[in-house]
Chains A and B, each alone.
Chain A
């Protein structure tokens, strides 16, 4: 078996824009695919992005990269449409982080803004701090784990996927939800009439445990409350 070739790209956001980063990564990936098309080895590509100072759209559209590390806080729509691989953000993230994520793992060592994981179709987002309003809005299959608390309207219009909150939740938890599951360890400001609380079963414990393990968060899948929509499957 061939050893996969590894390469690393470094970007400084003081010098390049998010669009230029995306263009450079795409052209690099197409070059790799062209050169190594005859080999069965999968190329390993790592990206380091430094100088992040709350710019919007950082890492948006990046796919096919094995590992991305972003140093510093990022603005809105960070890592939008992310797929394949892992990304660590060493700082806070803005609104719409991980919007439309399709696969892979996003880890944030800080707090997240509003609408984290909105419209996510797959993959996992782990927030080590707190998350803002409308976490997991309209989510369609992705998983979100928040180690801290979430603000109002968590799980708004969720269609499928899982939201795990080890802290507490704000008002209107699960408003407009028509699929998926919310696991909440703490209290909720108010719970929407669109969802009902169910008993925590063994499969739920296993699922929470697996997601926390993947998110590198210590803890067991017990003491959680389970919320599922009343009109599921419509």
Chain B
């Protein structure tokens, strides 16, 4: 059985069905939300973002190296603010904090820390996880669609969005990262709750190594249903899509299908050069433990690869007569 057909056979239920039946409010079933976003949402140029900084468990040093490359191209990234630089660490390129397009991440069970919103271009609520439950020994269960732990009915989600807007003094667009469950119903509900943008987690890249990705749903059907949900809601909510897109052409196609931005995580995992170990029984292999590491950044390949990607996207836009990319 292929991955796609396995995913198709999984039964998903809407987010409301995932509230603990013991605490679910009866009034929540009669949803009467009037908090639809009137904003333009999050605007990313180039229309690219990365979640590797939050999902891949990178070290602070690797994260700084990645961000110094990503920053120069204006690509958005998800995660906490950067920690102060370690004095012993050698930073190849200073990072200008003003220009960073950071999307502050807020987990479901995490208390809201207003300090973490400082300098953020947007705030994204991660609507995945297993609140109140010990995680099963499965990578997939971490990405179960869920509502914040204190929410017991639909109306409270809209209020929580409004709260985040107040705490950021209305300066940041508020978004949600949602794993595909009942895609149409969930997206309609979240759009009506007032989110400015939604990130669809079709594929998760949980490491920089090739093959360290997890498919949560079929790409085509998810895009079809999500585009329909945004269209039917009549709202300006932006769709960000995290999926396995390996080149500029497939990213451009995804943008054509209704996405406002796409993730570069799978592209980076593919573009990463293989580490070539010195052949044994050579003079180089004997010396290698004693030779100091090269002074160039271990992430130096990211910059040229991303530059090529952005150029490829622009090429696609020019070829099709658009200037979107």
Contacts and interface: CB of A to CB of B under 8 A. Distances in A.
Nearest to A234: B134
A206 B297 CA distance: 56
Interface stretch (A1-9, A53-61, A181-189): A53-61
Interface string A20-61: 001100100000000000000000000000000000110011
A13 to B, nearest CB: 14
Interface string A108-134: 000000110011110000000000011
Contact of B112 (A23, A95, A119, A172): A119
Nearest to B110: A119
Contacts, number: 87
Contacts of A234: 134
B23 A156 contact: yes
A92 interface: no
Q: Chain A contact residues (Cβ within 8 angstroms of B): what range?
A: 35 or more
B166 A57 contact: yes
B166 A153 contact: no
A77 B150 contact: no
B149 interface: yes
A193 to B, nearest CB: 12
B3 interface: no
Contact of A81 (B23, B152, B167): B167
A102 B111 contact: yes
Contact of B162 (A56, A99, A172): A56
A138 B150 contact: yes
A172 B22 CA distance: 9
Contact of B111 (A19, A115, A119): A119
B111 A121 contact: yes
A176 interface: yes
A121 B170 CA distance: 25
B136 interface: no
B132 A157 contact: yes
Nearest to B151: A115
A140 B150 contact: no
B163 A140 contact: no
A3 to B, nearest CB: 29
B167 A96 contact: no
B231 to A, nearest CB: 31
B127 to A, nearest CB: 15
Interface string A141-160: 00000000000010011010
B109 A138 contact: yes
B86 interface: no
Contacts of B111: 81, 99-102, 119-121, 140
Contacts of A138: 109, 131-132, 149-150
Nearest to A58: B166
A87 to B, nearest CB: 16
B169 interface: yes
Contacts of A60: 163, 166-167
Given A60-B167, A172-B22, A100 B112 contact: yes
Interface string B110-125: 1111100000000000
Given A81-B112, A96-B150, A157-B132, A19 B166 contact: yes
B169 A102 contact: no
A18 interface: yes
B161 to A, nearest CB: 11
A137 interface: yes
A57 B160 CA distance: 10
Given A100-B112, A119-B109, A119-B111, A134 B152 contact: yes
A226 B107 CA distance: 31
A234 to B, nearest CB: 5
Contacts of A95: 156
Contacts of A56: 159, 162
Contacts of B159: 56, 76-77
A175 to B, nearest CB: 6
Contacts of B132: 138, 156-157, 176, 178
A80 B112 contact: yes
B305 to A, nearest CB: 39
A100 B108 CA distance: 12
A81 B169 contact: no
Interface string A79-115: 0110000000000000110011110000000000011
A119 B149 contact: yes
Interface string A206-234: 00000000000000000000000001001
21 contacts: A18-B166, A22-B166, A56-B159, A60-B166, A77-B159, A80-B112, A80-B167, A81-B112, A81-B114, A81-B167, A99-B111, A115-B150, A118-B150, A119-B150, A137-B150, A138-B132, A153-B23, A156-B23, A159-B109, A176-B20, A178-B134
Interface of B: 20, 22-23, 109-114, 131-132, 134, 149-150, 152, 156, 159-160, 162-163, 166-167, 169-170
6 A-B pairs with least C-beta separation: A100-B111, A118-B150, A100-B112, A176-B132, A157-B132, A61-B167
